[in-house]
Structure 1
C-alpha cells in the first residue's frame, strides 16, 4: 500500500482528474439531485438545467451511480499510477480529455449512421448523453501501450478491445460504443515515432496468436454469464441468450409445444412470437439457467486454456462449437418469426438477434480456420480414450446424484415433471461440466492424462543426448553441465552447433544455464529455443543465465529478472594470505591437527562402504530439514554418480567420511577451465569446519592444475553484495523488490542469505544470474513452474511444516 501511495504522489494529473470527478459528482448530486445520489441513473440529457453544449464536458467527470464512481476511481488510480510516469502529466491530461470527447463524437457518429441506414428504430440514443468517467481512463490505458514491450502491448490491446466489444454486444448501451471510440482515440494519441520504433525485436506476432485467439474465445464464452448478471442487458448477444441458451428445449420440441395440432415440416414458422419466447423462458430443466451459463462459461474458458497452449484438440473442439452455433442458429431462423426483434432502447434494435449470432459464429470460425497452423500440439496415443472414459464416469455420477436429489424433493425443480423428463434435459449441462473438467485436465501441461514431457519436437540427431553432452565439452557457462542431468530433455539448434537442456513443468519449458556448444550468435539461439517452445504450446524460460545471454534476450524484447548471485573465485588472484582469509587458514590447520585430510575421487572409485557413508550423510542432511530435498539445479546422490563429476571427501585415519562436495566440470573448446560446486554435505557431529576445508582444498588443486576459476554456485534470492559490479542489464524495479521480500521471508527456512555470507569468506567476484521470459505477464506462471521443479512433491504437509518453521523463526522460539 505504501508503494502505491508513493507512486500516486508522483501522478498529479491523475489525482487532479479524479478529484475533479468527485467534485463534479458531489456537486451535481447536491445541486441538481442527479449523479451518484440520484435514485435512478437516468440520462444526463433529461436534466434541462444543464445547457446542451456543456453536457459532453460534464459527462467527462460524472458517473451514473455511487458504485460506478468507486469502481472507476479505483480503475483510474491504478491506470494513472502506471501510465503517468510513462506519458507525462500534461500529455496524460490532454489524452484523457481528448479521448473522452473523441469517444463521445465516435459514439454519436455510430448512432446517427445506424439510424440513417435503418439499423436502429429508436431516436432515444440520438439525444442520450454518456455519463461515465471510464472512457478517458481507457484512452490513457491504450495510449500507454506504446510505452511498453510489444508482446505486452499486443496482449493489452487485444484484451481491451475484445472486452469492450463483448460488453457493447451484450449491454448495448451508448456508453459501450463511446468506450470503444475512446480506446481508438487513445491509441492514436499515444503514438509517436519514438514509441513506434522502440527497442526490441520480439519473437513476432505469430508466436502470440494462440494467446490472442484464446482471449477472443474466452470473451465469447462470457456472453451468457454477463447477460445473466446485468439487470437489463439490451445488446444483440444478450437477446441471443434469452432466445436460445436459456432454453433447453430442442427446436423440434419447441415447435411441438407451439403447434399442438402438428406441423408440416421443420421449416414451418411460428405464428405467435410470444409462444417461442415464453416457452424458451418457462422450459424447466435439471439445472437452473444461471448454472447453465456457468457451465458454458467454464467450457469456453477450458477451450481458451487449451488454445493458449496451442493444443490441436482444443482447436478442433472450438471449431465444432462454432459450427454447432451456426447450424443451431440457422434452424432457429426457421422457427422464430422475423418480427421477434430487439427492444427499442438499444443500438441494433432493428436487427434480428439470430442473424447476429450466426454472423459472430461465422467470424469466429473463419478466425480459427485462418490460424490453424498455430495449433499443432497433439496428445500422445490413448489420451482422449482415457478422457472419454472419465467423461462417461462423470456423467453417470452426475445422473446418480441427480436421481438422489429428485427422489428427496421432486418439487424443488422449476417446473413439475417426471424423472425421465428431468434426465432428458440434463445431459447437455452435465456433458458441458464433464468436458470442462476433462478439457482442463487434458490441456494442462502436466498431469496423469497428458504428460507434457511427451510434447516435444525431437531434433534430427538420432542421439540428441550424446550430442548435447559433446556440446557441453565445447563450451558453455559455469552451470551448463546441469543440462546433462536426468529429467532434462536435449534441444539442439538447427545448425547443430549449440543446444540446451530443458524440462517442461506446468506448461513452462525451463532451460537451465547458458547455451552449450560453440555459440556464435546468442540471440539466434535464444530466438530458436523460444520459437521451439511456443510451437509446442509452452512458455519459454531461461533460468540461471549470465549477462551475455540476458543482453541478447533483452535485445529480442524479453524480460530479465535477477534471481541469484554467483560467487566465482578467480584462480589467478586466489590466496590464503591476509586477515580476510583467517577462517580458511584456521580450518586447514585444525584439520591437520585432528587427522582429517581431503581426497579427490569419483563415485566409481569409492568402495561400497564409502558410498554408503555418503548416502547416510545425505539422508541425515535431508531429515534435518523442514522440507523435502530440492532438485532441479541442486544435485543429489544421483548426480554424484556421473563419472565426469569430481568428489572431494574429508576422511580421517579410520576412513570415516566427515564431509563431501561435488564439482561439475566447465569446458571451453574441449579443455577443462574450471569447476563448479554442486553438492555440499557434512556429517553431523563430525569435523565442524569440513566445508571450508573442502572448498579451500579444491581451490588450491584447481590453482595448481592451471584452471581459470572455481565457481561456488549461486545464492538464490540473496541481494547483490556491495562489492558486486553494477550490471548493464535493465531490470524491473518492482520485480527486484518483490524477489527481495521473498528472499527475506524464506530465509528462516532455506538460509539463502546465510549461504551467501558463508561464500563471502573466499572473497569471490560476483556475477548476476537471470531468469529470462518473453513476456513479463508470464512471470507468475514461470515462477510457479520453477518452484514445482525444485519441489515436485511439495504438498500440504510440507507447506504446514514450512509455515511452522517460519513462524518459530519469526517469534524466536
Structure 2
C-alpha cells in the first residue's frame, strides 16, 4: 500500500525550467555581487555606490539610470540571503503565469517603488519633518521593491481563504516596518505592495465569511500586540521619531498583552463580550494617541516625555495601527454575536423520532442509521436534518444530511451558517459525493475511507474469484455450523451472554476501548431495526456474530444492510467471518435487497499516483495505526467479496481547521478513553505489528 512520492531530480529540473526569468535575475545579482565584491564586503562603503544607487539625491542630479543599475547591487553581504529568498514570489508568479508576467510585475514594481518613494520624500521634505528630510537625502540599492511587488502578486494567486490571510500578513509587515523603523527601503516596500493591492484588487475582505472575519480580527490584535512588545525591546526610528529600548510604556504594553490574552479565544469564536473588550482596548489606545498628539502640539515632545513615563513616538505609531483595527472591528461587528449556548438549526431542535420519520420517508445512505445512535444532536434545516456532535469547538456532522435529495445543498449551507454563527468549526465526516458537491467551492475534502458495496441482485458465489468464500461456506457445512439472522433482544439470555463475552474479550485485547461515532457496540445492536448474524457451532456455542444496520430507501423500504460489528470467539470456527458475510449476502439477496455495505475501512483508500501529500500522510498514518486497529488488514479482508467502492470524505473549510477537527474526531471515536489508555496505544504504535 505504501507508495513513494518524493520529488525526483527530473521533477525538480522540470520545475526550474519553468522559472528562467527568476533564475536569471538571481544569477545576475550574484554575478554583480562577485564583480563588485559586495558578496563579502559592504558595498555601501564602495566608491561606486553613489554612482549606481537610486534615491532622490541622484535623481535630482540627473542620474536617470540609477533605478535600473541600483537593482543589481546589495548594500551589505548578509542582505544577499534575504534578497535571494525574497525571489520566491517572482518564481511562484512565473511558475503560475509565465515569464513575461513575472518580469512585468518585477520591473513595474521596482521602478514604481523607487520613483514613487523619491516623489513622496520630495513632497514631505518641504515641511519641517525631520524624518522626511533625513530620508530624502538617503540612497539605496537592491531589488526589494520588485520582489515585494511579486510577493504581493503571488499572494493574490493563493486560493481562498489563504489569499486574504496572506494579504493581511504582508500588509501588517510593511505597515509595522514603515511606522516603527521607516527607512527609505521600508517606504519602497510599502508603496510596491500598495501598488499591487490597488491594481490587482485581489483582497476582498467584505466577501469573507463570518469565520474569516473573526480570524482576521484575531490576527490583527495579536500582530499589533506583538509589534508593541518588539518595539519596547528594540530601538526604533520611524516617521514619529527615534526611541530607545525599554524607555517607557512597559505598563501600557503589559495591560494590552493581558487584555489580548483574555479576549483572543473569545474573538476566535465570535463572542460578543470579547468584541466589546477589544473595542474598549482599541479606543483607549487611540484616545491615548490623540491626547499625546494634542499635548505635543501645545508643548513639545521633549517637554511631554519629561512629564510622562513613555515614548511619544511609540504611542502615536501604536494609536495609528489601533485605529485601523478599531475601524475593522466596527465594520464586522455582526460577526461577533455567538453565545456559548447557541443552538444549531431551526428551533426547537428535531428529536430522534423526527429523525426516524425523515429517514424512513426519504431514505438515506449506508451510514445514515448511525445518526440515530446516542451522543448525536440534531440540527433542523429547511432542507432536512443534520446529525452532529459538538466537541472541542467543532460541529462534527456525521455522514450526510437526512432529507430529500433535492434539498441537500440547502441543508448543508444552513448547517454551515448556523455552526459558524455559533462560533463552531463545521465539518462533515464520512460524507458522499453529493454532500461534497454541496459545500462551498472554497472548502477542502480529504478521503477518509472507501465504502465497500456489494450489489446483491443476481449474486452467486460461483467462479474462480469466489473460491475463498465458497470454501468457507462448504467447510461450515461439513462442520455442521448453523447460520441464523435474528435480533439481539429475540435471543435467549444465554446467547446474549455469549455475545457479550465475545465482545468483551475482543475489547480487552485492545489498549483502547471500543470506538464509537461510526463504529457501534452491542448497545447499538439492541435496536429492533438492527439484525444479528450468528454462527452457531453444533454444541450451541456462538463462534462469531455480525450486526447489520438498515439502509432505508424512500417510503420506509429497507433496500440494503450495512455491516457494523464483527466479533469472533477465540478458538472457534476459523473462517467464521467469510461464512457469516457470505450467508448474510445470500439471504439478503433472496429477500430482494439491492446492496450490502461492508462499511469503510478508514485510512485504506487507494489514491491515484498524483495524489501528493495527502496520500503520503494517509499511508504513514495507516501504517502507524495498523498494530492497534488493523484498518489495512480489514480492507484486504473485504476485498474477498469483490465490492465496488464509493469514496467517503472529510469535508472542512481549510487546513487551519484540521487540528481542531482531529481533536474532535479523537473524542468522538474514543469518548471514554483515558490518558493512560492513549499512552498505552502510543506504546503499541512504537512497538509496531505483533508477530
Question: Structure 1 residues 467-476 or 781-790, which shifts more?
Answer: 781-790
State how far apart, in whole Å, the 2-side matches of 1:108 and 1:150 are.
35
Q: Of 176, 185, 189, which residue of structure 2 is paired with 1:179? A: 189
Partner residue in 2 for 1:408: none
Q: How does 1:478-557 map to 2 (within 5 A)?
A: 478-493=366-381, 495=382, 497-553=383-439, 556-557=441-442
Q: Please name the residue that 1:86 is paired with.
A: 96
- Give 2:226's aligned residue: 222
Deviations 1:536-570 (A, max 9, x none): 1122111111112212326x332222221111001
Q: Distance in 2 between the 1:455 and 1:61 partners?
A: 58
SS of the counterpart of 2:337? coil
Contact 1:677/1:712 (<8 A) preserved: yes
- Please give the alpha-carbon distance, in whole angstroms, between the structure 2 residues aligned to 1:238 and 1:697: 84
Superposed CA deviations along residues 736-763 of structure 1, whole A, max 9, x for unmatched, are 3432333344334432222111111111
| Offset of residue 322 of structure 1 | 1.9
**Inter-partner Cα distance in structure 2 for 1:683 and 1:65:** 75
The 5-angstrom pairing of residues 322-337 of structure 1 reads 322-329=282-289
Deviation at 1:699, TM superposition (A): 1.1
Query: SS state of the match for residue 105, structure 2?
Result: helix
2:52 maps to 1:50: yes
2:563 equivalent in structure 1: 677
Residue 314 (str. 1) matches residue 274 (str. 2) = yes
CA separation in 2, counterparts of 1:782 and 1:176? 40
Paired with 2:222 and 2:191, the residues of 1 have a C-alpha distance of 23
- Is 1:125 matched with 2:135? yes
Alignment equivalent of 1:163, drawn from 165, 173, 181: 173
1:59–1:129 Cα contact (<8 Å) kept:
no
Question: Which of 177, 186, 210 is the equivalent residue of 2:214?
Answer: 210
Aligned twin of 1:438: none
Question: What is aligned with 1:631?
Answer: 516
What per-residue deviation string (whole Å, max 9, x for no partner) do you get for residues 648-678 of structure 1?
A: 2222244322222111111122221111111
Q: 1:705 to 1:216 in 2, by over 3 A?
A: same
Name the CA shift for 1:168/1:51 in 2 (closer, same or farther; >3 Å).
closer
Counterpart position of 2:618: 739
| Partner secondary structure for residue 521 of structure 1 | helix
1:467 aligns with 2:354: yes
Cα 1:326–1:50 change in 2 (3 A) is: closer
User: Is 1:340 equivalent to 2:350 in the alignment?
Assistant: no
CA offsets 1:683-705 (integer angstroms, 9 cap, x no match): 22222211112211221121111
Retained in 2: the 8 A contact 1:596–1:652?
Answer: yes
Q: CA deviation at 1:584?
A: 1.1
Contact 1:510-1:543 at 8 Å conserved across structures: yes
Mark the CA change 1:137 to 1:674 in structure 2 (over 3 Å): closer, same or farther: farther
> Does residue 716 of the first structure (1) align with residue 602 of the second (2)?
yes
Contact 2:156 2:163 in 1 (8 A): yes
TM-score by length of 1: 0.73
When normalised by structure 2's length, the TM-score is 0.85
Aligned pairs for 1:406-421 (under 5 A) are: none
Supply the distance in 2 between the matched residues of 1:799 and 1:62 (Cα, whole angstroms): 57
The answer to whether residue 665 in structure 2 is matched with residue 786 in structure 1 is yes
Distance change >3 Å, CA 540–CA 15, structure 1 → 2: farther
Number of aligned residue pairs: give it: 666
Determine if the alignment matches structure 1 residue 24 to structure 2 residue 29.
yes
Shift of the 356–751 alpha-carbon distance from structure 1 to 2, 3 Å rule, reads same
Are residues 633 and 321 of structure 1, via their aligned partners in 2, closer, same or farther at CA, if it must alter by over 3 Å?
same
Deviations 1:255-295 (A, max 9, x none): xxxxxxxxxxxxxxxxxxxxxxxxxxxxxxxxxxxxx76x8
1:770 to 631, 649, 652: 649
1:217, 1:303 within 8 Å by CA — same for their partners in 2? Answer: no
Matched residues in 2 for 1:131 and 1:780: separation?
43
**Partner residue, 1:607:** 492
Q: Is the CA contact (8 Å cut-off) linking 1:224 and 1:297 kept in structure 2?
A: no
Structure 1 window deviating more from structure 2 (698-707 vs 164-173): it is 164-173
Assess if the C-alpha contact under 8 Å between 1:45 and 1:127 holds in 2: no
Deviation track 1:54-99 (CA, whole Å, cap 9, x = no partner) reads 543355455554554334544544x567554422344233323333
Q: Following the alignment from structure 1 to structure 2, what is the Cα–Cα distance between the partners of residues 168 and 591? A: 81
Question: Counterpart of 2:58?
Answer: none
**CA contact 2:560–2:596 (8 Å) conserved in 1:** yes
Instruction: Quote the Cα distance in structure 1 between the aligned partners of 2:273 and 2:463.
Output: 67
Residues in 1 aligned to 2:667 and 2:77: alpha-carbon distance in whole angstroms: 44
Tell me, yes or no, if the aligned pair for 1:563 and 1:769 is still in contact at 8 Å.
yes
Deviation readout 1:291-327 (Å, 9 max, x if unpaired):
x76x855753663343122122321221232233245
Partner of 1:154: 164
Counterparts of 1:686-705 in structure 2, within 5 Å, are: 686-705=572-591
Q: How does 1:342-361 map to 2 (within 5 A)?
A: 354-361=315-322
* Distance of 2:386 and 2:267 partners within structure 1: 27
SS at match of 1:516: coil
Per the alignment, do residues 808 and 367 of structure 1 end up closer, same or farther by CA in structure 2, a change over 3 Å counting?
closer
SS of residue in 2 equivalent to 1:707: coil
Q: Separation in 1 of the partners of 2:69 and 2:678?
A: 54
Matched, 1:115 2:125: yes
Structure 1 equivalent of residue 80 of structure 2: 69
- Residues 228 and 356 of structure 1: is their aligned pair in 2 closer, same or farther, counting only changes over 3 Å? closer
Question: 1:334–1:175: structure 2 CA closer, same or farther, 3 Å change rule?
Answer: closer
Q: Give me the whole-angstrom Cα distance separating, in 2, the residues matched to 1:203 and 1:746.
A: 41
Shift of 1:520: 0.8
* Structure-2 change in CA distance of 1:27 and 1:575 (3 Å): same
The answer to whether structure 1 residue 581 and structure 2 residue 466 are counterparts is: yes
Structure 1: gaps (5+ residues): 249-291, 343-349, 380-453
